């Protein structure tokens, strides 16, 4: 059974049908791309998957658990984490603290323990620090641990967002236009990072991207969205050579 199974997902905003009859199946460990022209509804699909919007119909099943219409926080606990098209780090917090926010639910102690700094506070905080540093090292961000997130270079901010998402220990990682605003060199690094994340964490990744070099370089499967509906779905090379896809992107 696939890790993520989405069937007949749909949502309307007023009279606008933003996403219609959206199906997708992602196997564990797959690197899957969601592409399509601007306004096709890609980010809306992400928002539906993460519970930011409640679907009007359809179902989302993650690893055998039906998470359709659940709250964002519960979906995150069920195992979906994401990054954002426009980076949404906690900019006034340090790099380390950003990752520690991601670790929030997997390391617990009570408020009273925190106020009075009981022994458990030090133990758990130390665990969190170690875990967070481990994650930062993977992205070579450990040297920036005490820097405010806002002061990181752009490419590093993107990586920190991925690290923060991974800290929530997801089964499925959603990346919303990870290469947006990057130059070709940064994009190349990013491709390596994404591949590395998949291999190192045995992660399943669904990403939205406009950069065709990135998409054809790392995605194994693609779904093309156009006007809120699935246009073509399949192996990357087949999809990219499909005349319908070329038409949707370039016009007649």
Interface with another protein by CB under 8 A: which residues?
50, 52, 72-73, 76-77, 81-82, 84, 88-93, 97, 100-102, 104-105, 107-109, 111, 114-115, 121, 124-125, 128, 164-165, 167-168
Q: Return the structure tokens found at 140.
A: 């070579």
| Nearest residue to 87 (alpha-carbon basis) of 204, 180, 208, 196 | 180
Q: In this complex, which beta carbon is closest to another protein, that of residue 121 or of residue 227?
A: 121
Q: In this complex, which beta carbon is closest to another protein, that of residue 155 or of residue 170?
A: 170
Q: Could you say which DSSP state residue 68 is in?
A: T
Going by C-beta distance under 8 Å and a sequence separation of 6 or more, which residues neighbour residue 175?
Answer: 82, 83, 162, 194, 205, 206, 207, 208, 209
Q: What angle do CA 65, 71, 72 make, to 5 degrees?
A: 95
Q: In this complex, which beta carbon is closest to another protein, that of residue 51 or of residue 245?
A: 51
Q: In this complex, which beta carbon is closest to another protein, that of residue 41 or of residue 102?
A: 102
Q: Could you say which DSSP state residue 128 is in?
A: H
Phi, psi for 160 (deg, rounded to 5): -65, -40
Q: In this complex, which beta carbon is closest to another protein, that of residue 156 or of residue 221?
A: 156
Q: Name the minimum Å distance from CB 115 to another protein.
A: 6
């Amino acid at each position: 059974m696939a890790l993520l199974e989405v069937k007949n997902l749909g949502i309307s905003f007023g009279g606008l049908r933003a996403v219609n009859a959206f199906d997708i199946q992602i196997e564990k460990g797959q690197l899957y791309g969601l592409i399509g022209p601007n306004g096709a509804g890609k980010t809306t699909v992400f928002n539906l998957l993460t519970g930011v919007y409640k679907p009007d119909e359809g179902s989302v099943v993650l690893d055998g658990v039906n998470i359709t219409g659940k709250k964002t926080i519960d979906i995150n606990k069920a195992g979906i984490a994401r990054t954002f098209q426009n980076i949404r780090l906690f900019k006034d917090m340090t790099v380390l603290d950003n990752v520690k926010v991601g670790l929030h639910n997997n390391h617990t102690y009570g408020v009273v323990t925190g106020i009075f700094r009981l022994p458990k506070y030090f133990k758990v905080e130390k665990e969190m620090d170690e875990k967070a540093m481990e994650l930062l090292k993977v992205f070579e961000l450990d040297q920036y641990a005490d820097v405010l997130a806002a002061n990181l270079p752009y490419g590093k901010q993107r990586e920190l967002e991925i690290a923060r998402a991974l800290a929530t220990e997801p089964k499925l990682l959603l990346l919303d236009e990870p290469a947006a605003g990057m130059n070709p060199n940064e994009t190349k690094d990013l491709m390596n990072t994404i591949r590395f994340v998949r291999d190192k964490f045995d992660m399943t990744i669904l990403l939205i991207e406009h950069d065709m070099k990135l998409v054809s370089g790392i995605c194994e499967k693609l779904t093309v969205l156009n006007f809120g509906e699935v246009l073509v779905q399949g192996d990357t090379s087949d999809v990219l050579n499909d005349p319908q896809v070329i038409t949707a992107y370039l016009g007649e």
